[in-house]
């Protein structure tokens, strides 16, 4: 049902590369300036989770309007299209059959909101000036419009339906072939996923491949609406099954990557040595560049452009796992080598994905930066930069230390992490995993439909083999104790091994978030002696401050020391 | 199933000021309780005896990990209900303002799990402490006006014992509102010793003094006696009751209490080292 109701979101967007972050979700789309980078991961989690207009707005304003210089929130739910803008240089144009409404975010000290019925096209433009460091990436990029359905990208402008320039047909056509090729691959892989939704992929894919992708695509699916205006069709297309979206997103995404690839190749050579630099860096470009370059080297088998980009991504992710805290030098080493491969394939892809979203920014950005490939920690553990892929798996692999049954754990673990498809293109690899993949993917498409029935907001996969649903307060430590709770909210105590006593008796708490963290899990260091390191997808290691809760994104890894890590996945 | 052996002892004293001892306690493994019938209330000894009776029933019926918290909370609520009924009887008998009450602190060992733990519940200002390796840590948080002042930062924790309103309890069994108890868990393997006591003990003895006494007496019964005796010797302004429980069999891996008598005590404020 949810899928149907969200049909409005089925229409694809197009975007131009730029400094702003854009989170395209099933119900709402949020744009944030580059300065709000810290907020992006949380917002994406919310948006991708199917949150509605009001929930997202609450989250955006949680820390105060004054701290948010600009933003755009667009509801693509049923009913009238709602657009909320804030900030200088932020403008939108909504066209309906009867009217054309122009909105300027600088027109109000707070924000400007409009609600328009029967919108046939919507365009939001963001002044490049606003961006802080921004614009290099955007500036260099040609004014190419990439298509996206759901995902996290960086933009300077978004259009729905996808922007089609009269003359632009040619460039599009050129790209199309690549997209088409990609599309084929995804289709095969994607089939398992598609099953849940329905069989629509092939058609959609083919459509995508076509030169005038967006408009055409929508047209077949759509009926009368399409006929009215080619451009409008996408919006109307919302009625189309949600199924189409994933496929489209993939295909579209891939195309940009492909384009970037050429650039990256050259880059890759140069970069190769560089990898060591900041793996942790969130910079979007880094991941892709790395991915693009590496994929070719490592991933030759796949050969598909889509797959290639994916592999590289893993590298960033690995850093976390491999990454060794000062105190747990011994355990980590074994992990990396041991588990790498088995879990690695699935895990690596997943792990990579998480990182990608953040980094996944437009190709342009990617090419510029390529440091991401190898993290220092990684380097230590891993034999060489080349070994990166192996390392990546390790994150999940943590089990080895526990020694219990890593193998057993691995299968289920499926790192829903794959959910990080935000970027859109990357998601493909995960499909390989049977069980987990569908859920994650569905999440992308339509959050609601996929969600399990339980109240759990996340699942913790502990490296000793334990799996814990976060449906209440979870206290984790060497000998955890719970303080001051009531009989109706008894915390779940999870004891983890700590041979070296590096882990405190009650080390961290993970609980379902409230308020702005609603729907996500939050982690709090309980004043542990040796501290806790958190690695969120696409971000560098972060030392938790005792008593300060931090929202967890699927794919996050919590390192307690003593070789014990906790991977956060979707429930 | 993990087998846990417990050794325990208890002591109580009316003190040097009061004429009646309204404290009550229960030591029926795996259930241990101290209740402080509220001074200033009518028949506080009856109220505290309700606590003992209800927990004795709980000990008899047994409890499992899955429902321990609810079971303990239900027992406390049953006490409150009996107090309500008792109040009603007394009021019907001609005392329109009759109202009694009691505190309760209970420690129940939950052993049917991989890592046995103490489930501790409290309502009021009777306390549970854990003592291991020479370190005494207060487990419960008083439901008292003074504690609220400390929490609010109005007064320093060190000043709390001497505060003129230190006897005012903000949550207890008895009265119109059925408060939820606060619950805590303490891993059995790390809690070499559990101390439950009424405020006649911790109100008369400094934290370090309690730690020192517990460290000096490996036998739990002797330790309980000595703690109460020290409280009386320090002034005995209130009934003083102490229950001391040692977990044996799970503590072998830990340094034995008697081997570590350094009184390196500190008060834990919430952080878990």
Q: For A478-524, what is each residue's pLDDT tens digit? A: 989 898 898 888 888 899 999 888 999 999 999 999 998 999 999 99
Closest CA to A171 of A152, A195, A143: A143
Per-residue pLDDT of A65-124, as tens digits, reads: 777 888 898 888 777 888 888 888 888 888 888 888 888 887 777 788 888 888 888 888
Give the one of B69, B186, B273 whose C-beta lies nearest to A487's C-beta. B69
Token pair for A226:
């399409």
Burial of A122 (0-12, 13-18, 19+ CB in 10 A): buried
Q: For position A467, what pLDDT does the model report?
A: 93
Instruction: Identify the residue among A473, A478, A481 best suited for mutation to test binding to B, counting B beta carbons within 10 A and taking the highest.
Output: A481
At A157 the three-state DSSP class reads strand
- DSSP annotation string for A415-473: -GGGGGGGGSSTTSSGGGSSSHHHHHHHHHH-HHHH--SSS-S-EEEETTS-EEE-SS-
**CB-count exposure of residue A452 (10 Å: 0-12, 13-18, 19+):** exposed
Residues 6+ apart with CB under 8 A from A111: A65, A71, A84, A85, A86, A105
Cα dihedral sign for A101, A105, A106, A109? positive
pLDDT of residue A470: 94
How far is it, in rounded angstroms, from Cα A561 to Cα A499?
Answer: 10
pLDDT digits (tens, 9 = 90+) for A298-320: 444 444 444 444 444 444 434 34
- β-sheet with B23-28: strand ranges across: B23-28, B31-36, B104-110, B117-123, B182-187
How far is residue B211's CA from residue B227's CA, in Å, rounded to a whole number? 10
Chain B contact set for A487 (CB, 8 A): 69-70, 72-74, 180-181, 183
For B271, the closest of A487, A495, A527 (CB atoms) is: A527
Give chain B positions within 8 Å (CB) of A481: 117, 184-187, 272
Rounded to whole angstroms, how far apart are CA atoms A448 and A195? Answer: 17
**B98 or A292: which leads in pLDDT:** B98
Half-sphere exposure of residue A54, counting CA atoms within 13 Å on the CB side? Answer: 0
Cα A304 to Cα A49: distance, rounded to the nearest angstrom: 29
Cβ pair A490:B117 closer than 8 A: no
Give the SS3 label for residue A129. Answer: helix
pLDDT given for residue A352 in this prediction: 40
Residue B168: CB partners within 8 Å, gap ≥ 6? B144, B145, B146
Q: What is the pLDDT of residue A142?
A: 57
With CB atoms and an 8 Å threshold, state whether A479 touches B190: yes
**What b/e readout covers A269-301, taking b as 16+ CB neighbours within 10 angstroms?**
eebbebbebbbbbbbbbbbbbbbbbbbbebbee
Q: A90 or A412: whose pLDDT is higher? A: A90
For residue B73, what is the nearest residue in chain A, using CA coordinates? A487
User: How sure is the predictor about A344, in pLDDT bands with cuts at 50, 70 and 90?
Assistant: very low
Rounded to the nearest 10°, the torsion over CA A375, A395, A552, A19 is 40
Contact B190 A546 (CB under 8 A): no
What's the confidence (pLDDT) of residue B210?
A: 97
- Taking the C-alpha atoms of residue A492 and residue A484, their distance in angstroms, rounded to an integer, is 13
Structure token pair of residue A99: 């009217």
pLDDT at A3: 38
* Chain A residues touching residue B184 (CB < 8 angstroms): 481-485
Q: Do you know the residue count of chain B?
A: 273
Residue of A404, A490, A497 for testing the chain B interface, max B β-carbons within 10 Å? A490
Give Cα separations from A129 to A39, A102, A125, A203, A546 (angstroms).
20, 20, 12, 40, 38
Residue A13 in 3-state DSSP?
Answer: strand
E-strand ranges in B49-170 read: 104-110, 117-123, 127-132, 135-138
Positive/negative CA dihedral, A512, A518, A520, A525? negative
Give the Cα separation of A211 and A169 in Å (integer): 7
- Check residue A27 and give its pLDDT: 86
Confidence of residue A381 (pLDDT cuts 50, 70, 90): very low
Q: How far is A456 from chain B (nearest CA, A)?
A: 19
- Decide which of B156 and A450 is more confident: B156
DSSP-based helix, strand, coil % in chain B, nearest 5? 30, 25, 40
pLDDT at A263: 43
Phi, psi of A460 (to 5 degrees): -105, 125
Compute the nearest-CA separation of B143 from chain A (Å): 11
Over residues A1-49, the pLDDT tens digits come to 433 333 333 578 888 888 888 998 888 899 988 888 777 878 888 888 8
Give all domains of chain B, ordered by start, each with its CATH number: 5-259 (3.60.40.10)
Q: Give, in order, the Cα–Cα distances in Å from A309 to each of A251, A373, A395, A536.
A: 13, 13, 20, 20
Contact between residue A289 and residue A405 where contact means Cβ atoms under 8 Å apart: no
Instruction: Tell me the C-alpha distance between A49 and A444, whole Å.
Output: 8
A487:B185 CB<8 A: no
E strand spans, chain B: 5-13, 23-28, 31-36, 104-110, 117-123, 127-132, 135-138, 182-187, 193-197, 240-248
Instruction: Decide if A45 contacts A176 (C-beta within 8 A).
Output: no
Q: How far apart are CA B147 and CA B204, in angstroms?
A: 16
Q: What is the mean pLDDT of each run of 10 residues along chain B (273 residues)?
A: 81 93 95 87 86 94 87 95 93 89 95 87 95 93 89 83 79 90 86 91 95 95 97 94 89 38 36 41
A486 touches chain B (CB under 8 A): yes
At A454 the pLDDT is 58
With an 8 Å Cβ cutoff, is B272 touching chain A?
Answer: yes
Reported as a single tens digit per residue, the pLDDT across A453-476 is 458 999 999 999 999 999 999 999
Say what the alpha-carbon torsion angle A39, A44, A45, A50 is, to the nearest 10 degrees.
Answer: 140
Domains detected in chain A: 2-160 (3.60.40), 247-450 (no CATH), 459-569 (2.60.200.20)
pLDDT (average), residues A172-194 = 40
Kindly report each contact of residues A525-528 with a partner whose C-beta sits within 8 Å and lies 24 or more positions away, as own/partner.
A526/A475, A526/A477, A526/B271, A526/B272, A527/B270, A527/B271, A527/B272, A527/B273, A528/A477, A528/A503, A528/A504, A528/A560, A528/B272
pLDDT at A551: 94
- Residue in this structure with the two tokens 């429902």, named with its chain if needed: B67
CB contact under 8 A, B115 and A493: yes
pLDDT at res. B104: 96
CB proximity A167 to B under 8 Å? no
A526 vs B contacts (CB less than 8 Å): 271-272
pLDDT at A204 over 70: no
User: Which neighbouring-strand residues pair with A567?
Assistant: A461, A557
Tokens 């690839």 label which residue? A261
Residues of chain B found within 8 Å of residue A480, distances taken between Cβ atoms: 185, 187
Q: Three-state SS for A411? A: coil
């Amino acid at each position: 049902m949810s899928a149907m109701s969200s049909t409005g979101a089925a229409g694809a967007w197009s975007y131009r590369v730029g400094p702003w972050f854009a989170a395209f979700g099933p119900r709402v789309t949020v744009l944030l300036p580059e300065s709000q980078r810290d907020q992006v991961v949380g917002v994406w989690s919310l948006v991708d989770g199917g949150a509605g207009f009001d929930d997202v707005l609450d989250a955006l304003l949680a820390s105060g309007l004054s701290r948010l210089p600009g933003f755009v929130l667009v509801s693509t739910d049923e009913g009238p299209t709602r657009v909320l803008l804030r900030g200088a240089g932020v403008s939108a144009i909504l066209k309906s059959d009867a009217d054309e409404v122009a909105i300027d975010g600088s027109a109000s000290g707070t924000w400007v909101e409009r609600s328009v019925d029967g919108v046939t096209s919507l365009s939001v433009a963001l002044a490049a000036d606003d961006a802080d460091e921004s614009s290099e990436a955007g500036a260099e990029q040609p004014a190419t419009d990439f298509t996206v359905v759901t995902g996290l990208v960086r933009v300077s402008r978004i259009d729905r339906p996808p922007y089609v320039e009269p003359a632009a047909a040619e460039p599009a056509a050129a790209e199309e072939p690549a997209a088409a090729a990609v599309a084929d691959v995804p289709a095969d892989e994607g089939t398992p996923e598609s099953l849940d939704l329905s069989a629509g992929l092939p058609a959609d894919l083919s459509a995508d491949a076509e030169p005038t992708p967006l408009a055409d695509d929508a047209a077949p699916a759509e009926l009368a609406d399409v006929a009215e205006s080619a451009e409008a069709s996408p919006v109307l297309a919302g009625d189309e099954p949600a199924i189409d979206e994933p496929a489209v997103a993939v295909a579209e995404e891939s195309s940009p990557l492909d384009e970037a690839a050429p650039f990256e190749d050259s880059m890759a050579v140069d970069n190769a040595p560089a990898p060591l630099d900041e793996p942790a860096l969130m910079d979007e470009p880094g991941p892709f560049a790395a991915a693009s370059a590496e994929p070719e080297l490592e991933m030759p088998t796949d050969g598909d452009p889509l797959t290639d980009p994916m592999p590289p991504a893993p590298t960033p992710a690995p850093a976390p796992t491999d990454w060794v805290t000062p105190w747990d030098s011994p355990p980590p080493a074994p992990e990396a080598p041991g588990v790498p491969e088995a879990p690695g394939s699935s895990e690596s892809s997943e792990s990579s994905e998480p990182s990608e979203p953040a980094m996944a920014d437009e190709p342009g950005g990617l090419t510029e930066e390529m440091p991401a490939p190898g993290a220092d920690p990684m380097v230590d553990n891993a034999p060489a930069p080349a070994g990166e892929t192996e390392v990546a798996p390790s994150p999940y692999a943590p089990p080895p230390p526990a020694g219990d049954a890593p193998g057993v754990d691995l299968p289920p673990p499926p790192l829903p992490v794959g959910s990080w498809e935000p970027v859109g293109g990357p998601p493909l690899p995960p499909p390989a995993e049977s069980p987990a993949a569908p859920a994650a993917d569905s999440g992308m498409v339509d959050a609601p439909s996929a969600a399990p029935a339980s109240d759990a907001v996340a699942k913790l996969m502990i490296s000793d083999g334990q799996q814990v649903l976060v449906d209440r307060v979870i206290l984790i430590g060497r000998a955890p104790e719970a303080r001051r709770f009531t009989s109706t909210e008894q915390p779940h105590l999870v004891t983890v091994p700590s041979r070296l006593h590096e882990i405190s008796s009650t080390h961290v708490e993970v609980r379902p978030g409230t308020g702005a963290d609603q729907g996500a899990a939050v982690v709090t260091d309980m004043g542990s002696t040796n501290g806790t390191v958190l690695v969120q997808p696409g971000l560098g290691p972060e030392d938790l401050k005792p008593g300060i809760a931090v929202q967890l994104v699927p794919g996050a890894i919590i390192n307690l020391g003593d070789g014990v890590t906790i991977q956060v996945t979707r429930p | 199933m993990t087998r846990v052996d417990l050794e325990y002892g208890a002591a109580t004293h009316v003190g040097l000021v009061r004429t009646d001892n309204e404290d009550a306690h229960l030591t029926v493994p795996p259930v241990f309780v101290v209740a402080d019938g509220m001074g200033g209330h009518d028949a506080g000894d009856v109220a505290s005896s309700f606590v003992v009776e209800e927990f004795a029933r709980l000990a008899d019926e047994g409890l499992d990990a899955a429902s321990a918290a609810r079971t303990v909370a239900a027992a406390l609520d049953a006490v409150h209900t009996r107090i309500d009924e008792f109040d009603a009887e007394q009021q019907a008998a001609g005392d329109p303002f009759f109202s009694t009450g009691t505190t309760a602190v209970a420690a129940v060992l939950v052993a049917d799990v991989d890592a046995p733990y103490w489930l501790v519940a409290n309502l009021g200002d009777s306390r549970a402490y854990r003592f291991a390796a020479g370190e005494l840590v207060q487990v419960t948080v008083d439901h008292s006006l003074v504690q609220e002042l400390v929490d609010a930062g109005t007064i320093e924790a060190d000043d709390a014992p001497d505060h003129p309103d230190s006897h005012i309890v903000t949550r207890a069994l008895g009265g119109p509102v059925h408060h939820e108890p606060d619950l805590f868990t303490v891993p059995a393997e790390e809690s070499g010793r559990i101390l439950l006591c009424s405020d006649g003990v911790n109100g008369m003895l400094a934290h370090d003094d309690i730690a020192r006494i517990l460290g000096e007496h490996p036998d739990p019964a002797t330790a309980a006696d000595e703690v109460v005796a020290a409280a009386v010797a320090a002034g005995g302004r209130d009934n003083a009751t102490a229950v001391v429980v040692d977990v044996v069999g799970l503590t072998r891996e830990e340094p034995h209490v008697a081997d570590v008598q350094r009184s390196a005590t500190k008060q834990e404020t919430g952080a878990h080292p």
